Structure formats: C-alpha cells, structure tokens
Homo-oligomer: A and B are copies of this chain.
Amino acid sequence: MAIQNSTTTNGTAATNGVNGASTNGVKAGPAPLDASKLVMTLAEKLKPLPEPESLVFGQTQTDHMLIVNYDPVKGWGAPEIKPYAPLVLDPMSSCFQYCPNVFEGMKAYVGPDGEPRLFRAERNMARLARSAERVALPPFDTSALLTLLKEFVHTEKRWIPSLQGYSLYLRPTIIGTRPALGVSASDSACLYVVASPAGPYFKGGSRAISLLAVNENVRAWPGGTGGHKLGLNYAPGFKPQKDAADRGYDQILWLIGDRVTEAGAMNAFVVVRRDDGDLDVHTPNLDGTILPGVTRSSVLSLLNAHTSSSLLLPTLPKTLKIHTHEHPITMPELKAWSDQGKLLEVFGVGTAVIVAGVGRIGYSGWGEELVLPENEGGLGPVGKGLFDMLTEIQAGRVEFEGWCVPVV
C-alpha cells in the first residue's frame, strides 16, 4: 500500500472501485473507499505512554486517529491518519439529532514475535457494513477499511502493552453528518477509528459479577435493531443500569418477557450438567434481538473444538463432551436447572471483557436470588477454559484456524 504525505492520488482511482463506476469520467458515481488514497500526517510530538496498571478501559487516547469523510456527490474522500483531534460538526448534524451512528469493538495484541495481531477482524468489518446499512449510512468496501485499519495499528503499535492480558482496543465508528433537520437518511458521513490501550477488564483479578434480570425495560425487540451494533442500542440501558447499580448489581440481564437476551453489553451463556455426564451449553439464538458477537461465535467454535478434540480447553477433562445449543433460554428454565443442581455456570462474553463469570442473578419473578456455584476468580471450568484459550490465541501463543494473525 502506498503511503503519501499530505497529497492524495486523484482521478481514475476513484472510478475503478466497488461502485462499478465507469472509467472514462462519464457518470462516475460516488467514489468508493480507497485505501491507496491514504494520507499520513504524523504527530510532531508523541504522548508519554501511561503505566499499564493505571489504565481504565476506554479513557486513554493514543497519538493518532484514522478518519475519512463521505460526501453525497463525491463519495469517500482521501482517508487520513492524523494526530488525534476533536471532530468539528454542525449542531444540526444527523449524528446528534437522529443518531445514525454505528461502531465496532476490536483489539490488537502483540504476539511473541513482537508483531501486532488482529483477532478475526474481517468479522468486525462485515458487521460494521451491516450496521451501516441498517441505519442507511453509505456503504464502504470492507477490505479497504481493513487495509486502513492495519495501517493504523502499525502506526499506533507502540501503544499495545506487551504485558499478558493487555491489548490496544480499537473503535471503528461511522456517524451521520448531514447538517439538516429534516428526518431522513444522512447522505454524508464520517468514518473514523480511535484506539485506547486496555488492561484486564477486572482490576485486581477476575471476580464473579452479579446480574439483575429486567423486563420492564427492554433492550431489543423483534423488528428492532438489537441484532446490529448501533450506538443507539446502548443509551436506553444507561438509566436501568444505574438503577441496577443502586440495588447492588453489576449489570443487567436483559429479558423479553421471561426470555434471556443479553447480559449487560455481553452475549450470555449457560452451562448445564446432563444426566449422562456431558455438558449442555446454551446461548440465545440470533433472532434479530441478539448481537452476533465475534466472541460469542468464537466461544461456540472452541466448545465444539473441545468435543471434537481438535483443540482442547485446558481446564476440562479431555473426554468431556460439550453440546452447544443456540436457542431461547427462559428464566423458569434457569430456575429449574438451578433447583435441580444442574446449573454449573453462567457467563457473559464480549470483546472488552472476553469472558465474565456470573455469581448471582436477581429477578422480581423469583422469591430469592439465584446463586451460582462459587469458583476461584469468578469463572468455572468452562468459562476459565474459554478465557484462557481465547487469550492464548489472541496473544499468538496458540494458533487456531487463522483467527489471530500478524498485521501485514
């Protein structure tokens, strides 16, 4: 990839792209996202790196950002990696007024070879494109964005702590920038990526979290947007989350009626002992109310890999069979499994937390809290096995199906 300084290539490049525009300058549509147009403007002075132990999730900005604007006529402009800077936007912009804003959460890791790595990044690119389409933001070439993202990771490589459990959290974002108040799709947009170095999600060692199951507020709904990663899915949870915290719970277990959807901003998993000694692992199916999480998908793959012996989870007996189920889970089922002594583990998974064990669940439909079996560090054998294996793969110490490869 060619990197230029302060100038962009012009002309035909914009008409050879994904939009299938003609090459003779006639009827050329909006230009596609083109990584070869990247302009690099590096910071004159780099920030001092913070002590890794002092990091709080998502509160540290790195030196640079990746940014590219979409104009309704010209299409995607020249992408730029430039010093981290505020956005300057008309107060009428669609992003403030009607919230056509989408994002991704990803992490870059440093492998034993010292090279930065990305974990299943093509899945985040594809999901971002689906999210953008859902709120009528302009389409973009996902492979071009991945190329740009890799360049950005190389630029910010010094920000990836080389300590175990640390990474550089990446936040690709697209916001609608149409500066007008009419209620309609934003025909202009700003795509940017910012980064923040991140340590283990739980300070002072992993612990089990508590969940308050809630159905008077509903996160997502059939025909709604819960299956897409939209910014607008999150603000409605702020007040319920505060209320849950006031009642002594870490996160909300979101329900529709008595059906489990997500845990906080994580996908939910439930481990149940079978009468034949095998394990059932249940997670809600992707019915449009559930975010199709990259960690969720990876967890299902790793559980199946253990059962097929293609990759063994270190905390579990080699011969243990785990049966994964993507289907609805209800609160009465959870209670019955618990009453029968079969409910072994509940955990949430996501890019930020990886795997978080659940210790107790409060629910107005129950007389008392559901208490899960206690485990050191908050994670049972299945959750701990997944956490350890995912972090080994992410750190480049275990290779599995090309999930985490050096950024080249």
User: Interface on A for B, CB 8 Å cutoff?
Assistant: 56-59, 61, 65, 84, 86-92, 94-101, 103, 133-136, 169, 171, 173, 175-176, 180-186, 192, 194, 196, 215-218, 221-225, 230-232, 234-239, 241-242, 264-265
Contacts and interface: CB of A to CB of B under 8 A. Distances in A.
Contact of A96 (B180, B186, B231): B231
Contacts of A194: 91-92
Contacts of A65: 91
Given A133-B239, A215-B223, 18 more contacts: A59-B182, A84-B91, A86-B90, A87-B91, A88-B88, A97-B171, A98-B231, A99-B99, A99-B234, A135-B235, A136-B238, A169-B181, A183-B234, A183-B237, A184-B241, A185-B239, A218-B221, A218-B222
20 contacts: A57-B182, A58-B92, A87-B88, A87-B89, A91-B173, A91-B194, A97-B101, A97-B103, A98-B231, A99-B99, A100-B238, A101-B235, A135-B238, A136-B239, A136-B242, A184-B241, A218-B222, A221-B224, A225-B236, A232-B236
**Assembly of this chain: how many copies?**
2
Contacts of A90: 61, 86-87
Nearest to A88: B86
Contacts of A175: 96
B231 A99 contact: yes
Contacts of A176: 235
Given A134-B239, A169-B181, A232 B99 contact: yes
Contacts of A196: 92, 181
